[in-house]
Amino acid sequence: MNIREEVDKALDGLPDDALEGVLEYIRFVSGVPEVEPTEEELKALARGRQEFERGEFSDWEDIRGR
């Protein structure tokens, strides 16, 4: 089964109210333009990398409460 068939099968199993969220996501990923980050954004990314390297981060599992 290829990826399109898997997606179609998964969509067939979703209730109608969940399809609205799927459609919103498809529109989001389809319409995101590529942009160049600003100097401020590049600095923020660098700070984030430094924090990560120092171990200053939270695991997703801890944040979502599992």
Per the CB < 8 A criterion, the answer to whether 19 and 11 are in contact is yes
66 pLDDT higher than 80: no
Q: Looking at residue 61, what is its pLDDT?
A: 84
Segment 6-62, tens digit of pLDDT: 999 999 999 988 999 999 999 988 987 888 999 999 999 999 999 999 999 888 888
Domain boundaries, position 60: 3-64
Q: Looking at residue 14, what is its pLDDT?
A: 92
Domain count for the chain, please give it: 1
Q: pTM of whole model > 0.85?
A: no
Alpha carbon of 66 to those of 2, 8, 60, 62, 63: distances in Å?
33, 31, 9, 6, 8
